[in-house]
Amino acid sequence: MACLPPLSSFAAIVVAAGKGLRVGGDTPKQFRMWQGKPLIRHSVDALISAGADPLVVVIADDARAAAEGALAGIGGLQYVIGGATRQASVRNGLEALAVASPMNVLIHDAARPDLPRDVIARLLAALDTNPGAIPVLPVVDSLAVAGEGELMTDTAAREPLRRVQTPQAFRYPAILAAHRVWQGAGDAGDDAQVLKASSGSVALVHGDERLKKITFAEDLMHPSTSPAFRIGQGFDVHQLVTGEELWLCGVQVPHDKGLSGHSDADVALHAITDAVLGAVGEGDIGTHFPPSDPQWRGARSGQFLAHAVDLARAAGYAIANIDLTLICEAPKIGPHRPAMRAEVARLMGLDESAVSIKATTTERLGFTGRGEGIAAQAIVLVSLASEGTTT
């Protein structure tokens, strides 16, 4: 149950002070729903998962309640009121980090919710040799210069041009100093422009098409690139020891030994949890419930599974079905299978027909064959909620 290690230390600022009116409606787009949860929450979750600490959220002066509602349950966030321009808002966020004085900071737009971890890694790596780095993509279309009356007056070479995305990464002292001395006319197009104006070099790293900015109402729909179905696989092992209770699939099973672990060591629910998390790209159980955290000592694994299901739903997916295999010589699983199946279905909000629980042995080979432990393997299929699944 290894968790994804955090990337090198960095702070983050999520800029969410705009009105976002082009998306339509009265609610700023950063607080609108996208794939099952508020737009802003996607990027905040991604940054925290990658190791951002501290994290500042820059909001409008009347948006505190909306922001706290969209980010409910996420601890340690610092809210800062933005300025009259984006540049002023970012500076406010940077000033709020002065006490922490981080080495590096990522500045990200809340309107870009799908933030790949590998982009963050490339940006941080580039800061080893540059004071700033930004993700970019090549321009693939031909370019035309528009004149009066929307008539083409010339063409432009696309080869030296790049499309700029966020997050943009900087050494914190360099970008703070650049914002403090910014003398540009009006608002800065982005923070790389501010650093460049103070003679700071900005490295270009490869971005990702997934970092598309949400601008219009149709952008809030499920992106066409989201697959209708995704599959996750989970595998877990726990040791059998004397003096422990044996929990499998949320059911206490009578046996002369129990499974050893930081939580209740329910190997079956751990495997299913990892399968759900894997299906929606949310890491593994150790990422969300690290065994080093004392609050999870003795915890019931049902809450781990419920959390994974919530994450799947927040990503716009519903659980379609589960296939679990328990691998052990003893105890016999058959007599407990109906109760196990019912409990897994209850925990995941499924009909029992969507839950398969099987058991097998290794013909007395290996650690399970010697009765030293129990292994579990789970396969989970999830589908876009819009495809008709109602869980």
Mean pLDDT of the chain: 88
State residue 59's pLDDT score.
96
State residue 66's pLDDT score.
94
Tell me, yes or no, if the pTM score tops 0.85: no
State residue 390's pLDDT score.
38
Contact 385, 313 (CB under 8 A): yes
pLDDT tens sequence across 320-332: 999 999 999 999 9
Amino acid at 66: A
State residue 224's pLDDT score.
45
> Above 60 in pLDDT, residue 102?
yes
Region 246-268 average pLDDT: 92
State residue 391's pLDDT score.
42
CB-based contacts of 234, cutoff 8 Å, min separation 6: 270, 271, 272, 273, 274, 275, 276, 277, 278, 376, 377, 378, 380
Whether 229-387 and 10-220 are alike in CATH topology: the answer is: no
pLDDT tens sequence across 356-387: 999 999 999 999 999 999 999 999 999 876 43
Region 298-308 average pLDDT: 89
Give Cα separations from 236 to 184, 275, 375 (angstroms). 57, 10, 6
State residue 3's pLDDT score.
45
pLDDT tens sequence across 133-182: 999 999 888 999 999 889 999 999 999 999 999 999 999 999 999 999 99
What would the CATH number be for the domain defined by 229-387?
Answer: 3.30.1330.50
Residue 303 burial (CB count, 10 A): 15
- Band (pLDDT 50/70/90 cuts) for residue 23 is very low
State residue 216's pLDDT score.
64
pLDDT tens sequence across 197-212: 998 899 999 999 889 8
State residue 33's pLDDT score.
84
Domains of the chain, residue spans: 10-220, 229-387
% of residues, the chain, pLDDT over 70: 91
Burial class (CB in 10 A: 0-12, 13-18, 19+), 286: middle
State residue 164's pLDDT score.
95
State residue 293's pLDDT score.
79
Tell me the C-alpha distance between 151 and 145, whole Å.
8
- Band (pLDDT 50/70/90 cuts) for residue 262 is confident
- Band (pLDDT 50/70/90 cuts) for residue 119 is very high
- Band (pLDDT 50/70/90 cuts) for residue 35 is confident
Contact 20, 29 (CB under 8 A): yes
Tell me the C-alpha distance between 129 and 170, whole Å.
11
| CATH 3.90.550.10 is the classification of domain 10-220 | yes
Region 337-352 average pLDDT: 93
